[in-house]
Amino acid sequence: MLFAALWWTGETEQLDLHRDAGFILLGMVIFRLIWGVVGGSTARFSDFLHGPRAIGAYATDLIRGRIDRSVIGHNPLGGWSVAAMLALLAAELTLGLFTVDIDGDQPGPLARLISYDQGRTVAQWHQWVFNGLLALIGLHLAAIAFHAVVKRDNLIGPMLTGAKRHAGDAAPMRPAPMWRLAVAVLVSAAIVWLIVRG
């Protein structure tokens, strides 16, 4: 929803709202990066980022139509899809901090470190990376739809609740303690505050 809001406010040049929404999303992305290290089992990068062999095996299974619902968390292809989206999102937000609008009166909070022309170039990149993000998000959503329709596997419920009815004997998701959540949120907010304040 925040992403849609950023799209809308960017297109319609409501830059003050765009900036505030960007700060919130920046905090969320920083949180997700921290959570990928200290969070619940299925949230960790080590859980869903696998080497080429696992990806190959999964892709083969996928093509042969073998269904394996005993796994929880992102599958090997979906995991890298998440990583790619996170990386592009982080790049997009970083570029946004340096972006200068065409009128030069509502620049990003770190744009004072660069010139108007450089800031305009960054704005161009900000646009390109956004198109890349749209493509990756579209791909991710298409994969989710594929799972829902062809493989009859609802992925959205488990994403929201963390609970999944699984047929196999896979270990259930181990949530992280609440204090870690609180610390991660506070650290993310502090980093954003430092950046915004300049």
What residues line the site for other proteins (CB under 8 A)?
Answer: 11, 13, 100, 102-107, 111-112, 115-117, 119-120, 127, 198
Greatest CA span in the chain, whole angstroms? Answer: 59
177 token code pair: 């303690």
Residue among 27 and 119 whose Cβ is closer to other proteins: 119
Residue among 16 and 169 whose Cβ is closer to other proteins: 16
State in angstroms the smallest separation of the CB of 103 from other proteins: 5
Residue among 113 and 159 whose Cβ is closer to other proteins: 113
Residue among 100 and 133 whose Cβ is closer to other proteins: 100
Alpha helices in 39-115 (DSSP H): 45-48, 52-64, 76-98
43 token code pair: 């949230």
The percent helix, strand, coil of the chain (3-state, each to 5) is 70, 0, 30
Cβ contacts of 190-195, under 8 Å, gap ≥ 24: 191/27, 191/30, 192/23, 192/26, 192/27, 192/30, 195/26, 195/97, 195/109, 195/110
For residue 134, how many C-alpha atoms fall within 13 Å in the half-sphere facing its CB?
9
State in angstroms the smallest separation of the CB of 138 from other proteins: 21
Using the 8-state DSSP alphabet, how is residue 184 labeled?
A: H
State in angstroms the smallest separation of the CB of 90 from other proteins: 24
For residue 9, how many C-alpha atoms fall within 13 Å in the half-sphere facing its CB?
15
State in angstroms the smallest separation of the CB of 119 from other proteins: 7
Residue among 17 and 84 whose Cβ is closer to other proteins: 17
Residue among 5 and 196 whose Cβ is closer to other proteins: 196
State in angstroms the smallest separation of the CB of 163 from other proteins: 45
State in angstroms the smallest separation of the CB of 1 from other proteins: 24
Helix (H, G, I), strand (E, B), or coil: what is residue 149?
helix
